[in-house]
Amino acid sequence: MRLSGSGVRCVRGGREVFSGLDFAASAGEALAVTGPNGSGKTSLLRLIAGVLTSAGGSIGLEGGEQELTLAEQAHYLGHRDALKPALSVAENLLFWQEFLGGEACDIAESLTAVGLDHATHLPAAFLSAGQRRRLSIARLLAARRPIWLLDEPTNALDTSGQALFAALMTDHLARGGLIIAATHAPLGIAARELRIGISE
């Protein structure tokens, strides 16, 4: 499996964010997208996820599931946690598992993997910022997809949470997964860097 972009151009609100961007990542690899605020890191992830439309160039996936689109094979984990406060931790995870489809994994195991097995029936509104981030990470495990698109994935995680997530990312790569992460902080795993600069 190989995800690549050639000459990708992004325009937001009439402003060119970046253009002529090339990138590539293969199964078992992580690509860290770095650059200053406003340089287009999040926009690139959203283009890959199909949330935004490219203004030029191409993004393609080779070797994935032929009958599925790139977006259907990718998890986009934004820098904001998409949780419903009134639902319990388990209910939030079940919602995303059913919504995303794909290879479903045991919810209890997913919560244990991120250290939230003690909070299964707790409303998400009661979670700390770090716990909310852990619950979002559990979504990656509850409905497995080969491509992880991560926007500032270690935000709100303490040292132990960062180490735990690094282990989960390492396991994902070992299974043949692929990671593209927009980040200001080290991921804690081996990753190539793609630096985006601000267009003049």
Residue 200 has pLDDT above 50, yes or no: no
In this prediction, residues 11-22 reach a mean pLDDT of 92
pLDDT at position 199: 45
115, 185 contact by CB (below 8 A): no
Distance, CA of 39 to CA of 36 (rounded, Å): 6
Q: Is residue 49 within 8 Å of 71, Cβ to Cβ? A: yes
pLDDT at 103 > cutoff 80 = no
Rounded Cα distance between 113 and 168, Å, is 8
**CATH 3.40.50.300 for domain 2-195:** yes
Task: Render pLDDT for 28-71 as a digit per residue (tens, 0 to 9).
Answer: 999 999 998 889 999 999 999 999 999 999 999 999 888 899 99
10 Å CB burial of residue 114 (0-12, 13-18, 19+) is buried
- The reported pTM is 0.92
Closest alpha carbon to 170 in 190, 153, 194, 150 = 190
Parse the chain into domains and list their residue ranges: 2-195
